[in-house]
């Protein structure tokens, strides 16, 4: 009987590696041996800290994540592996194929073919780990719909914010200004082509943000703002820079953290729109032409072009997963993307 190692969230800021029996593949299923998995520095760290609401499910459309956040539980949604065995009714040609799956951190797992995405040509196994983040970034742009000549702001330069910035630099914008506390992340956005990158916690940051837009020949206010930091305070900062009839795309998930919004004078008069963006669905307004399959095809294309594996800052053996989470919790300034490796 085959065994596997699985990462279990047992309590706030506590994870364990436990040995389990690997189920035999049933009809239509395959066995996947994991090569790499990626830790989400945003959503997954909320889970790690115990800040995910226990009354909601992790992700209903994904079978392996259709549970709630009551301890102990498994979590994770970015795994790349190799098919090692097939069940009845599956073409043996699947054996040896590299595949992506929205799956928790485990050394091996059994999945149906509908839960696997074969890696396209030209995509490395480490680039493929960024598929969920890239698909999320694509979704943000579908919701925000940047226009030629606009002033655009991105708050939060975790990996999703960096990928969103990487997509935005291809647009003929009037200005693209990014905001993050950590210098390393700000430098990445500048290297990608952002107009400027500011620390939103520094003195005079708002005046600097306005000056960057004025210098670009615009009014000093932003047309489109993405709040991707995961920090509730940043939503007020995003509102503060956004102009009349502007759009604020809220991509952050705040979990159980309370959000105190300042919706007085300026917001009340501005007619700006706060747009909730979440990757589980495509905005209904584009439903006639867009679906998840089209969005994923675009995400793969952008992964091939951008090659985000260069932003992997740390690789930990799976057995040292607890150290990886502790690093993300204590020293986020040192990290961009942390990956678990499986030998």
DSSP secondary structure code for residue 194 in this structure: -
278 and 211 belong to one structural domain = yes
Q: Is 229 helix (H, G, I), strand (E, B) or coil?
A: coil
How far is Cα 231 from Cα 250, in angstroms, rounded to an integer?
11
Indicate the helix (H) or strand (E) that contains 303.
Answer: helix 292-306
Mean pLDDT of 129-138: 98
Is the pLDDT score of 215 beyond 70? Answer: yes
- Is 295 within a domain? no
In a domain, 101, yes or no: yes
Taking the C-alpha atoms of residue 124 and residue 108, their distance in angstroms, rounded to an integer, is: 20
262 inside domain: yes
pTM of the model: 0.94
46 in a structural domain = yes
Whether 188 and 91 share a structural domain: no
Say whether both 144 and 252 belong to one domain: yes
Question: Does 229 lie in the same domain as 168?
Answer: yes
Q: What is the mean pLDDT of residues 268-272?
A: 89
Please tell me whether residues 144 and 100 are part of one structural domain: no
Q: pLDDT tens across 304-334, in order?
A: 999 999 999 999 999 999 999 999 999 999 9
Q: Residue 298 domain-assigned?
A: no
pLDDT at 261: 86
Which distant-in-sequence residues (6+ apart) come within 8 Å of 315 by Cβ? 338, 339, 340, 341
Question: Are residue 145 and residue 279 in the same domain, yes or no?
Answer: yes
- What's residue 269's pLDDT? 87
293-305: average pLDDT: 97
Given a cut of 90, is residue 255 above it in pLDDT?
Answer: no
Is the domain of 54 the same as that of 192? no
pLDDT at 253 over 90: no
In the chain, % helix, strand, coil (3-state, to 5) comes to 35, 25, 40
Task: For residue 67, name the pLDDT band (cuts at 50, 70, 90).
Answer: low
274 and 337 share one domain? no
Q: What is the mean pLDDT of residues 166-172?
A: 97
What torsion do the CA atoms of 45, 47, 49, 54 make, to the nearest 10 degrees?
160
Report the DSSP beta bridge partners of residue 41. Answer: none
- Residue 99 tokens read as 């595949």
User: Quick one: 144 and 281 in the same domain?
Assistant: yes
- The predicted model gives 254-271 an average pLDDT of 85
Q: What is the CATH number of the domain that holds 264?
A: 3.40.50.720
Q: How far is CA 91 from CA 83, 120, 168, 172, in A?
A: 12, 19, 41, 47
- Please report whether residue 302 resides in a domain: no
| CA-closest candidate to residue 130, choices 37, 256, 254, 234 | 37
Number of domains observed in the structure of the chain: 2
Specify the range with the lowest mean pLDDT, choosing from 221-225, 264-268, 303-307, 314-318.
Answer: 264-268
The CATH number assigned to the domain holding 7 equals: 3.90.180.10
pLDDT at site 130: 98
Q: What is the pLDDT of residue 56?
A: 63
Whether 187 and 221 share a structural domain: yes
- When the pLDDT of each residue in the chain is averaged and rounded to a whole number, the result is 94
Position 301 in a domain: no
Distance CA 50, CA 218 (A): 43
Tell me, what's the pLDDT at 145? 97
296 conformational bin, left if phi > 0, alpha if psi -120 to 50, beta if neither: alpha
Under DSSP, the state recorded for 120 is P
Which range of residues forms the domain containing residue 248? 133-286
Mean pLDDT confidence for 61-70: 62
Q: Using H for helix, E for strand and C for coil, what is the string for 20-86?
A: EECCCCCCCEEEEEEEEEEECCCHHHHHHCCCCCCCCECCCCCHHHCCECCCCECCCCCEEEEEEEE
Confidence of residue 59 (pLDDT cuts 50, 70, 90): low
Give the integer Cα–Cα distance in Å for 133 and 78. 9
Q: Are residues 117 and 240 in the same domain?
A: no
Same domain, 144 and 117: no
Q: Is the predicted pLDDT of residue 62 greater than 60, yes or no?
A: no
Strand partners, 250: 227, 276
Residue 96 lies in a domain: yes
At 256 the pLDDT is 83
């Amino acid at each position: 009987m085959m065994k596997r190692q699985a990462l279990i969230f047992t309590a706030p800021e506590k994870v364990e590696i436990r040995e389990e029996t690997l189920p035999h593949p049933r009809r239509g299923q395959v066995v996947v041996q994991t090569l790499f998995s990626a830790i989400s520095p945003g959503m997954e760290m909320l889970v790690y800290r115990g800040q995910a609401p226990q009354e909601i499910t992790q992700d209903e459309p994904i079978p392996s994540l259709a549970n709630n956040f009551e301890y102990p539980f498994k979590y994770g949604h970015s795994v790349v592996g190799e098919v090692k065995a097939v069940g009845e009714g599956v073409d043996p040609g699947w054996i040896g194929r590299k595949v992506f799956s929205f799956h928790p951190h485990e050394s091996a797992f059994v999945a149906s073919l509908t839960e696997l995405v074969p890696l396209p040509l030209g995509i490395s196994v480490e680039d493929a780990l960024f598929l969920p983040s890239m698909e999320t970034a694509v979704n943000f742009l579908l919701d925000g719909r940047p226009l030629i000549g606009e002033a655009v702001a991105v708050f939060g330069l975790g990996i999703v914010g960096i990928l969103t910035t990487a997509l935005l630099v291809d647009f003929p914008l009037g200005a693209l200004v990014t905001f993050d506390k950590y210098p390393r992340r700000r430098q990445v956005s500048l290297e990608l082509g952002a107009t400027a990158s500011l620390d939103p916690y520094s003195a005079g940051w708002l005046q600097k943000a306005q000056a960057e837009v004025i210098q670009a020949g615009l009014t000093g206010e932003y047309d489109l703002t993405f709040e991707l930091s995961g920090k509730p305070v940043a939503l007020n900062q995003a509102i503060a820079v956004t102009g009349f009839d502007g759009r604020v795309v809220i991509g952050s998930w705040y979990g159980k953290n309370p959000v105190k919004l300042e919706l007085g004078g300026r917001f009340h008069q501005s007619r700006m729109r706060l747009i909730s963006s979440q990757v589980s669905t495509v905005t209904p307004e584009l439903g006639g032409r867009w679906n998840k399959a089209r969005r994923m095809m675009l995400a793969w294309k952008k992964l091939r072009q951008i090659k985000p594996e260069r932003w992997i800052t740390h690789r930990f053996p799976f057995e040292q997963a607890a150290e990886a989470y502790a690093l993300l919790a204590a020293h986020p300034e040192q990290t961009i993307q942390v990956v678990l490796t499986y030998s």
